[in-house]
Structure formats: structure tokens, C-alpha cells
Structure 1
Amino acid sequence: MSSEDALQPDIIRFAPPALPSLPPERVPYDGYRSQRTPIVIDNGSTTLRWGFATFDSPYAGTNAIAKYKERRNNRLLMLFGEGIDSESGAKGQAKTPWEGDVLLNFDALENALDYAFLQLGIDTPTIEHPVLMSERLCTPLHSRALTSELLFELYSVPSLTYCADGIMSFYQSNAPSSSPFRSDGLVVSMNTASTSVVPILDGKGILSHAKRIPWGGSQASEYMLKLIQLKYPNFPTRLTTAQTTWMVHSTCEFAMDYQALLRRLKDPIQLRSCAKIVQFPFSVPVVEEKTEEELARIAEKRKEQGRKLQEIAAKSRLEKLLQKESDLQYLQTLKDSRGTEGKKEWATKLQAEGFDDDAALADVIKKLEADLKKARKKEADGDDLVVEEPSFPLLDVPDADLDEDGVKEKKKQKLMKAGFEARNRARKEKEREKEEKDREEKREEEERHDDLDAWASKRRQEHQVLMNRIKDRARRKAALSDRKSAAAQARMKSIANLASDDRISKKKRKGGNEDMFGADDADWAIYRKINTAVASSDEEEDFSQLQAVEQKLLAFDPTFTPHETHASIASQRSALMTAFRPPYEEGDVEGNMRIHLNTERWRVCETWFSPSMAGIDSAGLGEVIHNILTRFPDSEKSRLVNNIFVTGSPSQLPGLLPRLETTLRPILPPEMPIKVTRADDPSAGAWQGMARFARTEEFASVGVTRQEYDEHGPERIRKWWGGNWNGGFIA
């Protein structure tokens, strides 16, 4: 494989995530009837997993419900999990029991439990099995009380036990098969809406030292969505959090050193090489093929339309040219009459014509002469052939001797004669400019032949002046986008001055007609100053001169390389932006939809260690672990860091384990060993640990029975090593 092939970005096709799998064969309920086999429910905010404790794998489904009325049979349906995706109208009505990381919607929880018990085949009026249900770290007391009330009052369960999901996943991977659970470790549970860190010593969670970060998989998906929307504001398809969740799990990874990675990615080549392209489905547009006769007919029609448009444009240009010539002639006559007028009369005459002084009149005349010169040159560019002067016989005939058609024809001939004369003047002006240009080129050639170094130095100085002028113009445009810059404040001052026009009294403004903009020619200069969209009149000329100078230097100066040209410098500056968001290649199919992910692949994961990047006022994962470890002596700290256990679906992102070890190594003594492991099944590990514990004899002694519920109410809490509370009875 060549080095160029190695730098090519990977292309992955977007595909919906795989649905959670159900057990291959449904076990009949008759085998569990009256057996009081525990039911294990992992109530996750994204996925609900349930099953009997003897199951090898649980039932699973998206933890959401939707009430949907089927139009065909006019029936009200209750859909759960992936069944919601089968009906497009039900997606907008889907509800989940969770709001972030708190269980709030108990109607949805009730419907989800109904579905779970039906899938288990339970056909009795009440649930005759003990229930073991997971909950988040630091679950509010009222949320647990409402859940207990739901299970005891509605389903009449014989006993109910709550456990922390992260601790049970740790139990599944670290509990011995025979001896009591006495393992040590530090559990990092990365959930959907939060990340919790729980120290465990002698098989007991030290919840008084546990910490939780308000950042999880759902926030990472939303952050990825915002980054893509910022990068592709006009993407043709509306992105969803489900799609960005798939992107996070398919493309993102943790960086060992995020800042060093960013410094390396400043190189556009490296940025391109690390990119992953997400290819979205699209339909190839169907191009209707036309016959040669149809193509020829269309081409002829377009040619005819173009000819008509050219005639209309030429006529319009000619009329404008004649009008400018007439205006220039009038103003020249006005200027020539300066000597025949008195000072007071001349000032009055200027005011009547709309000029403040002689300088304003001279500026307008100068501008008209420049516009006429440019227009004549443009007219002459398309008419290089010398034609004989046509005859205009009606110009010498008085209007009184002509009928109505003759008068119209005379006006037409007058316009044609004026256009012919204007083209002749433009042609002569072009010939004069060409002669002058030939003399200048000859003089420059002699200068270059006599002293090449001096000629090259002069051209380089001219090149540098033009480059500085273009840079200053670009800098001024960029400054106008910053409202705190001096240029933007000067622009606002000009706008304020226009708003407070004092050329008309406030009394007259109240009567209307207060808009005096345009009464003075200076207004249009202010307009060009405050309007950032108006290009400078010298900008095009500067670029043209710069290109001509660069061509001469490239042709005759051996020290001037193509890398010093304006185009090369501009492309180098934009190379990083082009690598960050590459444009579509030439010849790409219209409608093709791709998303290039480069820095986002590490930036999304870095938020677990720096939540402030996403606007979250919280400590990162490394800082939280350090804060927890400082509460323990070195002997216990060594037992904790020797078994750092990560679990949860986001923990499957590549690079997490070495990143945790790299983050914690500098804050620990060199002789203290660190071991970071991941759960065998980060997604279902909590359910497996719960099912394993439910099969032990200890399970019967840690739950709240129906008798205790009837006596103490739903606030009854029992303290045990895998629970979420420090226990006792709370009134």
C-alpha cells in the first residue's frame, strides 16, 4: 500500500443500530408458576432488560411507549420499544419513563412493566415473584417511593429490592463463584444521562464518597448533533439523535493527549488522513436522454434567446452611454460658464444644480469621464472591424416635412449615428491605449534587458504593494464583522449620523417626508462605507494588476516561485479549512450526502474529561476520580486503583482504558500499580450481575417485603452492600 492510499479517509455507510435481541426461544410460564423465581428488571433510560433470574440472556427493548390509534381498524394500540418504529405516526407520541437521569413518567413505566410481564407469559392476577430492579446512583427518595407504590399496589409483588446498576455489573465480573463477595475496586459507570464513580471496599459500595457527572451517552450524541449542524448548516437531510448516536459509537474514540492531537491535526494532510466519511443514502437523479434533433433544437433556441438578450443589452448600454455623454456635455458647458457669472450668481447656480462648490462639480465631471472611458472601451472590445460610416438621410430633413413614421425613423437614425460615433471614439481611444501600452512594454523590455535585478526588484515592490492593499481590504472587511472593533464602531457612528440628519428641522420631520438621504452626493459615499456587501471599485483592478505582475515575475525572475503568488498563499491559508470540511469532488453525483468527521471524533469523547467544552459546569472524569482517591489512605487507595472497572454502553468507545490510566498515573505514587478493566458485556452486565445475585441465598434477606411495605409505607429502605441508600427506616 502506498503512502497516498494510507492517507485516504475511510468511508462508512450509515446504518441504523442493531435492535436488541430476544431469547431465541420463549420459555413457557408453566415452569415458573408458583416457583417464586425472582424477576430481574434493569430499568435503563435507553433500554429496558427483563427476565427471570434463571435466564442466560434477558428480553430487551427500547424503554419507550406510545399510544397510537390505528386508522385501518380504528383501534387504540399500545406500542413498546421497536414497535414504535413500525408506525410512523406513533413516533411523535412516544414517551419514556425517564427525564434525563431521573425517573418521572410513571404512566410510561407502568405500560413498560405491563409489556415486560406479558412477554414473560405471566397470566396470574398478581405478580407472585420477587422483583429485583436497578436504579441510578443518588435516586431521589420520592422517585423510589412512587416506584415501590406502583409495584406493591398495582402488581402486588411479594418483595422488592433495589440495587445500583454499576455495582451489580462490578459484582458480575469480580464476585467469586463460592466465597462471599469481598472484592475491591473503583466502578466507573457510564450511563445514558450521567457518569458515576463508586468506590468499593470489601464488597461494599462507599456511597458517601461516590460522585456523579451530569454527562452521558445522550449528551454526547446531542453534542455531536450540534457540531454537525454547525459544520453542515445546509445539510439536505434532517439529522436525528439516533443517527448521531450511531456516529458516536461507530467513529469516535478517546485521545491519549487531546491537546497534542490537535497540534498534530494542524497539518491538513494529517487532518485528512484521520477523517471518516459517513455516507448517507441518496437517490441517483434520473437524467432524461434527448435525441440529437431535440438537443440541436434546444441549442438553437438558446442561441436565439442569447442573441436577443445581447441586442437588448447593447441597446441599453448605448442609451446609457448617450445619456452620460449628454450629461458630461451639459456639465462641461456649465463649468465653462464660470467666467461669465458673478460669484454670488455662480454659487446660486451651483446650488440649483445640486453642487456645493466647484470641487463637487469637478468630481462629478471626472467620474463621468472615467465612466465614459470604461464604457467606450467595453464597446470597442466587441467591435474590432472598421466599417464604413452608414448614411443617415433623414437627419437633415426638418420634422415638419416628415410624417409620424418619418419622425420615428429620424429618431432611430439619430440614435444609430450617435452610437456609431461613440464606437468610433472608443475605437480610437483603444488604439491610442494600445499604442501607449506597446510603448510601455517596449520601455519595460529595454529596462529588463539592461538591468534584470533592478527590474525584478521594482516589480517585487509593486507586487508587495498590491498584496498589502488586498490584505488591508480583507482585514477591514473582517473587522466589520466584530462589533467591538474600531471599524464596526465607525460604521455604527455613520449610521447614527444618517439617522440624526440635521438638514431638516424636527418640526418638519413630524409632518412626514423626513427622508433626505440622497440629497447630497456624500450620502452615497457613506452608503458604500456602511454597506459591507458593496465591493470596492478598485478591488477588481488591483487583482488584475496583481495577476499581470505575477505573470511577468514568473516568466523572467528565476527567484520568484509559484508558491509566492497570491493564489498559492490564499490556498495555503484555506487548506486547513478545506481539510476540515472538504468540498464535493468534481463530477460527484448530484444529491450525494456525506459528512466528514475528523476533530469531532475525539472532541465528543473528550467532554467526559472536560465537560466545560460542551458548556457543562462540572469537573471531568479524571478530576472526579482524583477527588475520590484523596479521601482514602494510601493502603485503601492502592486497592481501589488496582481494579478500576468501567461499565456501560459508552465505555465501549476505543481508547478509554489507556486514557484513564494515562490520566491517573501522574497523580499516584510511581510504585502504586494501576489496572483498568472493562466489563465483559458493558451493556447487559448489570442485568447479568443482578440475575446472578438473585440466585443466591442472600437475595431473600435484602428486599422489602409486602408486610414491611404495609407497615411502614413506600419509604421503607433496607441497607445492603449493593443498594443505593445508607439505610434504615426513613419516615
Structure 2
Amino acid sequence: MNEDVLEVAYLPPPILPSPQFPDSYESYRGQGTPLIIDNGATTLRFGFCTSGSPKSGPNIISKYKDRKTNKPLVLFGDAIDTEPGARNQAKTPWEGDILLNFDALENALDYAFIQLGIDTPNVDHPVMMAERLSSNLHSRALTSELMFELYTVPSLVYCVDSIMSFYHNNKPHGQFTADGLVISFNTASTSVIPILNGRGILSNAKRIPWGSSQVTEYLLRLIQLKYPTFPTRVTSSQANWMLQNFCEFSSDYPTLLRSLSNPVTLSRSGKIIQFPFSQSPVDEKTEEEQARLAERRKEQGKRLQEMAAKARIEKLEAKEKDLREMLELRDRKAQIDELEYSDMLHAEGFENDGALDFAIKKLEASLKKSKKKDGDEEPVSLTVMSVPDTHTLHQDEPANFPLVDVPDTELDEDQLKEKRKQKLLKAGWEARMKVRSEKQREKEEREADERREAEGRERDPAAWAAGLRKNQEAIINRIKDRARRKAALSDRKSAAAQARMKKIASLANDERVPKKRRKGNGDDMFGANDADWAIYRKINTAEQSSDEEEELQQLQMIEQKLLSHDPTFTIEDTHAYISTKRSALISAFKPVYDEGDPAVGKTRIHLNTERWRVCETWFSPSMAGVDSAGIGEVVQNILAAFSVAERARLAQAVFLTGGPSQLPGLAAKMESTLRPILSPEDPLRIVKALDPSTDSWRGMAGFAQTDEFARVGVTKAEYDEWGGERIKKWWGGNWNMAAQVPVWTQLGCSLDTK
């Protein structure tokens, strides 16, 4: 892997939280300054509305018992990391996008009030609290009960966080009358809210059940699938760090994927994340030791080559011996009667003459192929049947065996010996003639096939090329099937691996062995003939069979013909090129480190296609298995409910807020998504929040300092009279001002129409 192309990023070390001390409360005592609380799913932001910036902390609580003092502790935010084991018992007030854990919310509010220095029994400050679009009414009622009953706040106002972020970025000097389409990327959801004349049209607002937490988990699953044997555990917080620092949107995702099909482009687009690892000890050797080791490896390699050559020779000699025995068995047919010859065939494991001839032919072909690999082109029968005697015939000498047809009763002892030699020579000569005739016949058939193929190519080139392409595709598919089978057999839990074990078990229990495959002691000689090796190849995936070699040779021949005669068939269409490109693409997708310390390569994560894939899920949640519309489809449905003039007003300020809105490429992605669904004359302007982490709190703080703030809050007296379901209509809350219909119309609730 070339590390000069890509820069290696290291995981940030864990930072222990610094101690935080409560602020002074004296300047706010008895002033009734509004208190702003942005109860986010990941971060709690709080502070007085006159403060320049809010105080904040991770919105997470852990009730933990100290082992030393055996006293229960309540840890909030970053303090959880100071105690080992506290993280396992942590929980947040939110379950997804719903506020459910009110004991955690109570602890979080206690922490906020303590940090603000409030030391009075009651919180004598009006409170403005943010909530999600279309928040659960029951959760809101319990929150109101907590604020009024436990903390005795004088008044309470709820607002939609994304609307207040839009309010802050438009900075009204008087009445708020801005228009726009607010797209808020939250932790567990994404909401789209149209705003006209400073009023949220919540009857047309939509919420997608897909947020940054789901995207983070999706990225984590992709990493786990890509690196199933990663030595360390990748946490959700680490995946979130990768999402914020390395992931981005693509304005044209399909085009990007096509460009990443090039291994060079894919390699250059990656990001390397180095996880902590332990450096393996380096064993430094002198030059003499290295030379000695190299010489030893060379000798070992030479010894292995000699052993392999010896094994090949022994195997070849064994095959030649088997062939001689089979030929002698066939020659004895003329010397004995038919019944005795049949018994001999069955004793040797052959059913009839045809089975014997087939075995001889197959063994001769195997010997010829083995010798051809070793560089020996000499015909098999000549070497096998030669007899070291002065009467040995040359291949081209005529056949002359005068004693073969003479009866044994007319010959003396020397002539009988000579007759036996001539019979062997005759058998060898006949075998040579048979091989020669078969070669001539194969040559004629091959020439006839070539002539027919040439005639078909000249008559219809398109059909000829289509037929060869079909054969090429069939062979490639068989090669792929074998590769998939080998991959399946590597998994011991797969069906193929279990079937393989069943075959092995059945072979081990099989006692029906022919006599030829038994020694004198009755041992099983499984593997003594070629039929056993067909079974062996099914259970052994490491050895390549002769069928695979023949198919590869046939594939090369077909592709060579297509390259020579088909102008549409190029090198890029060959199996070798496709395999090489695929291997290069896999290597670029997940590089393998062969040099240096292996611990370094094993603790690295390469992000390439995942960088854009996880962000694309906001526009296509179905990629992650979520049955929901994407942002583009939701915006299109929302704009369809407005008139042409209103659509133009909404499109001129598409406001993006929330943490993920700062990811690179989002503005261009929104431009390419929304432009096709708008009229050509409609203006389109994409606006990002100045600071999405605090804009909502700052918008709430700015509104709390206006005269309108006092009119939209529910007072303690109204709560005592009407209960926690009390709702007041106003432009920043979960109440539709235009249609006069609440977002939760299915729930019975009291309405303040004042």
C-alpha cells in the first residue's frame, strides 16, 4: 500500500473532563430572567437568556455506586468517563425521538440548575424549553408536571428547535415575517417545516425517521462487515467521529459510483484511520545472519523442488506400471478361455473389455499429459512397451512376428522365450499403431472442425461471435460457481461445508471395496483408481482438477479467436482482464499490507465508498433497509401543497440546520435534488445555519427578550387549572396557526384560543 498518496488519520485520544464549578447566582437573584433550556437528544444546552453563550454537556446520566465509599453517585455528561463501568449503566432522557426517561431528565435539569448557581428552593425564572416537531403530548404533559410541581417555575414555553434556529439566522428587528423551508437534521429524525410570513405551516410539515444516530450505526455496520476480524472494538462514538470528519454528500451519487469503479480513483478517494496498536518487537539481524538465512531458505527451496520432482517421478512410474499390468491383462485374452478371462477382469475390478479399454485409454492420456508438463513429448506407448533386447522394433519398422502364430507344441524352449518377447513387441507395436491412428483421426477431426468454424464465421460473423461469447460466458459462470463453492466451504457452518463432511463420513464408513483395491491384509485402498479422485476433488478445494485446467485453456482459445476476428471484443472483455480489474478493485476497497509491521495494517480502517454511501441514506433511506421517503421526495410532496407563488417564496430560502448540515457537499446535493422539482423561473437559495449547535438556543434566548414571550407561556395558575395538556397557539410552537389544527389532533387536548 502506497502511504504517500493518502494521509493517515489517528483516532483522537480520550480527553478527561475538566472540573466545572457553578456560576455565581447573585446577578440573577430575584430578577426573573428567562431561563433557556435546549433539551437535545445528545447535548443539553442551558443558560439565562442574557448570557452570551450557553453552558452545555452530553445529555447522558449514569447512576453509579462508588466501590471505595459504597455510596451511590449520579454522573452527568463527560463525568461518566471518569469512572470505569459507569458507561454500561448510562442512559439518556430520549429513546430515539421520544422523551421517555423522566428520571434522567430530572437529573439533567438538577445538573443544569446547579451549574447556573441557583440555590433557592424554587426556580423563580420563566423557562423556555425546546422540543421536537410533533412531540408526544403525553411526554410534554409529564415534562410540564416536572417543571411546575418539582421546580415551581412561574411559566413555561415550548418551541420547535428548528424554527427557533431559523428565527435566529433571520435576525428580525421587529415582527418575524420571514419565509423559508427549514430542513433540520436531528439525532433520531429529519424534519422539513415550511414557514410563510414567520409562521410554521405545521399541517404540511413532515418528519423522516432517519437521523445522525441511525447514520452512525449504519456506518458502524458497514465497517464491521468490511473488517469482520478487526482486532479492536469500534465504538459508536468512534464511528460518529469518522462521520463528522471524513463523510460527505455527493451531488450525483450514481456518477460517483461509476467513477469509483476505477481502482486508481477508488484508492485515491480513501481515508485511512489508524487505531492504537502495540508495536511488535523488531528482531534485528546482522548481514551475515541474513545471508545465512537466505542460503538456508534457498537450500530448503531446492530440497522441496527435489522432493516434488521425486514424487512426480514415482507417481509416473506407478502409472506406467499400472498401464503395463492392464496391457498384459488384455494380451492374456488370446491365451486363455473366455470364462477364465472374465473372472480375471472381475478380480481386477473391471466389468468387461470395454471398461478395461477405457481405463487403458484414460491412463495413457494421463501419462501423456504428465510427460508433456515435464517437457517430454515422446508417445506414452513407446516408452511403456519397450523391451531391452536386440529384437526391439523401431516405431517405423514393419511388423514381423513369425513365432506368434506358431503353436507352442512345435517350439523348443528357446523359441518359446522368443515367442513371448515377440508377443510383447507385437502388443507394443499395435499400441503404437493405435495411438498413431487415433492421433491422425483427432487431427482430421480438428481440421474438419476448423474448416466448419471458418465457413460459419465467413457466412454469418455475428452469429459466430455470439456463439463464442455464449460459450465464454458459460465457462466464466462455471469458474465463478467453483470460486463461490470454495468460499462457502471455508465457512464450516455453510451448507456446502456440512455436505462435504457428510461425504467424508460416508466414505470412511463404506466397506464395499472391490478386490483390486484390497491388499492381503484387507485394508481399504481408497484412491487406488481415478474414480476415487473425482470424489476427492469434491471434498478438497485446494487442488485444481484437470477439468478446470481444460476449461481455462478452452476459455483462452475462445477469447483469442474473438480478439482476432471480432472487432467488438477487446482485451477489457477477457476473463483475465476482468479478474485482474476485480482484484485491483477489491485491493483498493480493502488494502492488504504485506510489508512492515503487520500490526499496523491490521489496525487500520480504509473508508472509501462508505464516505458517500452513509450520507446518501438521508435521500434514500431504503439503502439502509428503512421504508421511508427521502428528503427530496418529502420536499416535493410539501411544495405540491402550495401555490406557485408560495413555492417560489419557500424555495428562495431553503434553510439547513442541525449537526449533519455541516457535512461537505450538502448544499450542492440539495441544489441537484430540488432544482428538477421546481419551475425554471423559481429562485433557489440554499442557506446553512451559522452555528447549528447553538443557533436554536440563541434564537430562543433572543425571543425570550421580546414582549411576545410573556404572552405565549403557560403560567403556574393555568397549569393548576387546566393541567399539563394546556397548549397556547403561537408561531414557534407545535400548533398550526394557518389551518387551526394541532399536530396531534388524534389526541384529546385542551386549547387556548386566546
What is aligned with 1:706? 716
Pair 79,294 (structure 1): closer, same or farther in 2 beyond 3 Å: farther
- Give the TM-score of the pair, scaled to structure 2: 0.69
1:577 aligns with one of 571, 585, 590:
585
Counterpart position of 1:67: 63
Name the amino acid aligned to 1:668.
L
1:601 matched to 2:611? The reply is yes
1:36–1:547 Cα change, 3 Å = same
Contact 1:181 1:202 in 2 (8 A): yes
1:174/1:319 CA distance change after superposition, 3 Å: same
Matches within 5 A, 1:97-112: 97-112=93-108
Change (3 A) 1:149 1:469: same
List per-residue Cα deviations over 1:209-231 (Å, max 9, x = no partner). 10011111112222222333333
The reply on whether 1:678 has 2:688 as its aligned counterpart is: yes
**Could you state the TM-score of these two structures normalised by the residue count of structure 1?**
0.71
Pairs within 5 Å for 1:8-157: 9-16=5-12, 27-157=23-153
Give, in whole Å, the separation in 1 of the partners of 2:726 and 2:302.
91
1:612 corresponds to 2:607: no
The residue that corresponds to 1:693 in the other structure is 703
Deviates more, 1:139-148 or 1:570-579: 570-579
SS of residue in 2 equivalent to 1:335: helix
Q: SS in structure 2 opposite 1:71?
A: coil
Shift of 1:375: 7.7
Letter matched to residue 229 of structure 1: Q
Residues 43 and 58, structure 2, Cα contact 8 Å, conserved in 1? yes
Alignment correspondent of 1:431: none
Instruction: Report Cα offsets for 1:602-644 as digits up to 9, x if no partner.
Output: 2222222222222222222122112111111223222222222
Secondary structure at the counterpart of residue 207 of structure 2? strand
**Identity in percent:** 57
What does residue 661 of structure 1 align with?
671
Structure 1 residue matching 2:214: 3-state secondary structure: helix
Call closer, same or farther: CA 1:564–1:720 in 2, change over 3 Å.
closer
Distance 1:74 1:641, change over 3 A: same
Q: Is the 8 A contact 1:204 1:722 kept in 2?
A: yes
Give the counterpart letter for 1:653 in structure 2: L
Deviation at 1:160, TM superposition (A): 2.1
Task: Work out the CA distance in 2 between the residues paired with 1:50 and 1:248.
Answer: 26
Which stretch has the larger CA shift, 206-215 or 247-256? 247-256
Q: Is the Cα contact below 8 Å between 1:470 and 1:542 reproduced in 2?
A: no
Q: Distance in 1 between matches of 2:84 and 2:576?
A: 52
Q: 1:683: how far off?
A: 1.5
Letter of the 2:704 partner, please give it: A
Instruction: Check whether the contact 1:20–1:61 (CA below 8 A) recurs between aligned residues.
Output: no
Query: 1:59, CA displacement in angstroms?
Result: 1.5
Q: What does the per-residue CA deviation read over 1:318-346, in whole Å, with 9 as the maximum and x for residues that have no partner?
A: 87677656655544443333345555554
Q: Distance in 2 between matches of 1:372 and 1:474?
A: 28
Aligned mates of 1:79, 1:367 — CA distance in 2: 80
Q: Contact conserved, 1:185 with 1:645, CA < 8 A, in 2?
A: yes
Secondary structure of the residue that 1:32 maps to in structure 2?
A: coil
* CA distances 1:450-492 after superposition (whole Å, capped 9, x unpaired): xxxxxxxxxxxxxxx9999987544203246789xxxxxxx99
Asked if the contact 1:470–1:539 (Cα under 8 Å) also holds between the matched residues in 2, the reply is no
Aligned partner of 1:192: which letter? T
Question: What's 1:287 paired with?
Answer: 282
Q: Secondary structure at the match of 1:137?
A: coil
* Among 184, 187, 190, the residue aligned to 1:189: 184
C-alpha separation in 2, matches of 1:631 and 1:23: 52
Q: Does 1:160 align with 2:156?
A: yes
One-letter amino acid of the structure 2 residue matched with residue 184 of structure 1: D
Q: Is the 8 A contact 1:189 1:646 kept in 2?
A: yes
Against the structure 1 CA distance between its residues 170 and 253, is the aligned structure 2 distance closer, same or farther, given a 3 Å change threshold? same
Distance verdict in 2 for CA 1:138–1:576, change over 3 Å: farther
Deviates more, 1:672-681 or 1:600-609: 600-609
Give CA-to-partner distance per residue, 1:508-566, whole Å, 9 cap, x none: 9xxxxxxxx99997575366469776522254578799999999xxxxxxxxxx97997
Structure-1 separation of matches of 2:671 and 2:314: 80
Asked if 1:213 corresponds to 2:208, the answer is yes
1:258-298: CA deviation from partner (whole Å, max 9, x where unpaired): 23333344444443443333343444322122467876887
CA RMSD of aligned residues (A): 4.7
How far the C-alpha of 1:722 sits from its partner, in A, is 1.0
The residue type paired with residue 271 of structure 1 is L
The match for 1:407 is none
Q: Classify the secondary structure of the residue corresponding to 2:728.
A: coil
2:669 pairs with 1:648: no
How far 1:88 moved relative to its partner?
3.8
The answer to whether structure 1 residue 724 and structure 2 residue 726 are counterparts is no
- The 3-state SS of whatever aligns with 1:660 is helix
Q: Is the alpha carbon distance of 1:622 and 1:374 closer, same or farther for their aligned partners in structure 2, counting shifts above 3 Å? A: closer
Worse-matched range after superposition: 667-676 or 535-544? 535-544
CA distance in 1, matches of 2:331, 2:651: 97
Query: Does the residue aligned with 1:248 lie in a helix, a strand or coil?
Result: helix
Secondary structure of 2:272's counterpart equals: strand
Match in the other structure for 1:244: 239
**CA-CA distance at 1:116 after TM superposition:** 1.9
Deviation at 1:569, TM superposition (A): 2.5
The letter for the 2-side match of 1:191 is: N
**Ranges in structure 1 where 5+ consecutive residues have no aligned partner:** 382-464, 484-490, 500-507, 509-516, 552-561
Please tell me whether the aligned partners of residues 266 and 585 of structure 2 are also in contact (alpha carbons under 8 angstroms): no
1:271 lines up with 2:238 in the alignment: no
Structure 2: gaps of 5 or more residues: 377-466, 486-494, 504-511, 513-525, 561-569, 737-741, 743-748
Q: 1:200 aligns with which of 182, 195, 205?
A: 195
The one of 345, 360, 370 equivalent to 2:355 is: 360
Indicate the larger mover: 131-140 or 337-346: 337-346
What is the number of residues matched between the two proteins?
613
For residues 157 and 532 of structure 2, the distance between their equivalents in structure 1, rounded to whole angstroms, comes to: 80
Mapped partners of 1:269, 1:343: distance in 2: 72
Deviation of the 1:9 alpha carbon? 4.8
Retained in 1: the 8 A contact 2:16–2:81?
A: no
Distance 2:366 2:66 in 1: 72
Moved more, 244-253 or 73-82: 73-82
Contact 2:50 2:701 survives alignment (8 Å): yes
Mapping 1:402-481, distance limit 5 Å: 473-479=475-481
DSSP 3-state at the match of 1:697: coil
**In structure 1, what is the equivalent of residue 647 of structure 2?**
637
Between the aligned partners of 2:301 and 2:4, the Cα distance in structure 1 is 45
